[in-house]
Structure 1
Amino acid sequence: MLQPKYPDSPTPPPAHIHAPTDPAPVRRSVPSISVDRNTVAVVLVGGVVLTSLLAAVAVTAISVAVAAVVLRSLLSEQHRR
């Protein structure tokens, strides 16, 4: 029988000692996805279209900001005269 580590402890020793076992390795398999040329082409074209739309929005925002600055400066010069 095992002697308690701390004899003055009010906690009784465990009834049994659990010996951990090595867990079984988890085998995960990646589902196979068939990718053909048409799928790759569609993804590439979609990426190009979305990128060009984002660029168009950025250019439009910059041009609107420049126009606002120009109009503001023109209006402030009119008030000075």
Structure 2
Amino acid sequence: MLLRPQLPETPTPTPPATTTQHTHAPACSCQHSHMPTAPARRSLPSPSTRAVGLVLVGGVVLTALLTAVAVSAISVAVAAVVLRSLLSAQNRRR
């Protein structure tokens, strides 16, 4: 029992309190049924076409910049390897 953790007992949840139905006297004498009203839904603001276009253009520009940096880094690395190879070959000839 040293290696078996003991979990604490969780308290049992209490049932929710019962709600009482209130009956109201009808405001008119007509015989229509009472329709429950649905809660009002808040719609999300729709993004404008200009905002979507700006986000897409910004993404393309940032991707192009990242690609340019990656290509530059690779070309610098290749140039460094070539220079290192040339310098080590020159030092061996002496």
Shorter-chain TM-score bucket reads: 0.5 to 0.7
Match of 1:73 among 70, 75, 85: 85
Change (3 A) 1:43 1:79: same
The two structures have a TM-score, normalised by structure 1, of 0.63
Counterpart check, 1:21 vs 2:33: no
Deviation at 1:30, TM superposition (A): 7.3
Percent of pairs identical after alignment? 63
Q: What is the one-letter code of the residue matched to 1:56?
A: A
What stretches of structure 2 of length at least 5 have no aligned partner?
1-11, 18-40
Greater than 4 Å deviation, 4+ residue runs: none
Aligned mates of 1:54, 1:68 — CA distance in 2: 21
Higher helix share: 1
The two structures have a TM-score, normalised by structure 2, of 0.55
Match of 1:42 in 2: 54
Which of 1 and 2 has higher RCO (CA within 8 Å, sep 6+)?
A: 1
**Superposition RMSD on alpha carbons, in Å?**
2.5
Deviation at 1:18, TM superposition (A): 6.7
